Amino acid sequence: MARPSEFDRDEAIASAIRVFARHGYEAASTSALIEGMGIGRQSLYGAFGDKRRLFLEALRRYADGSLDGMAAALARPGRASEAIEAALLAGLGSADELESGCLGVGSIVEFSRSDPDVNAVNDAAAAQVLAAFAARVKDGVASGEFAADLDAQAAARMLLTLRSGLKVAARGGAGEDELREAARLAMRGLGRV
């Protein structure tokens, strides 16, 4: 009979996310994962199977958390531009905290389109983000805040691209004011399209 896990799985996954965000998939050694997660080698393999399955679970968990933060920002009452700006700036991470980097963007850079399982997680997350941005852009068009002929799907793709860029910029050392300025510039552009 197998022994029950002697660690909190949620905490272990959160720790794995930090290790993978800092090092990437390939450079995150099993030793670094074990140390970062505070579990033994046998527990790692017993609970998660292998490094790849751990990474996929961590990536899914990261994507879910990121989507939750963006959804909360987009659900804010009031002007669509303010909600979209808040979503663009939610959970960007920083250069000071390397473990706060975007696991999704990092996995896209590291794997490109070479891993179907990584692609599936990232594609599903992107589809949700695009739908959420498009819905809020449509709200802005309907209220007259954005240009009447604005293509909501095209705007959503631009916003997703901007969000990815903001995450990279934050990791590269851009400050909060600089990031907010970029988001606000995008909002002004939507009103003039």
Q: Give the tens place of pLDDT for each residue, 173-186.
A: 999 999 999 999 99
pLDDT value at position 98?
A: 66
pLDDT tops 50 at residue 39: yes
Q: What is the mean pLDDT of residues 149-178?
A: 95
Q: Residue 29 CB: number of other CB atoms within 10 A? A: 12
The residue behind tokens 């793709």 is 157
Instruction: Give the start-to-end residue ranges of the domains of the chain.
Output: 51-192
- Record: fold of 51-192: Tetracycline Repressor; domain 2 (1.10.357)
pLDDT value at position 192?
A: 59
CA distance 147 to 31: 53
- What three-state secondary structure class fits 144? coil
Q: What is the mean pLDDT of residues 153-177?
A: 94
pTM for this entry: 0.90
Query: Could you read off the pLDDT of 74-105 as tens digits, one per residue?
Result: 999 999 999 999 999 998 887 777 677 789 99
Query: Could you read off the pLDDT of 132-152 as tens digits, one per residue?
Result: 999 999 999 999 999 999 999
Structure tokens at 85: 């700006």
Instruction: Report the interhelical angle of 152-171 vs 176-192 (nearest 10°).
Output: 170
pLDDT value at position 17?
A: 95
pLDDT tops 70 at residue 117: yes
Residue % of the chain over a pLDDT of 90: 84
Chain-centroid distance, C-alpha 128: 12
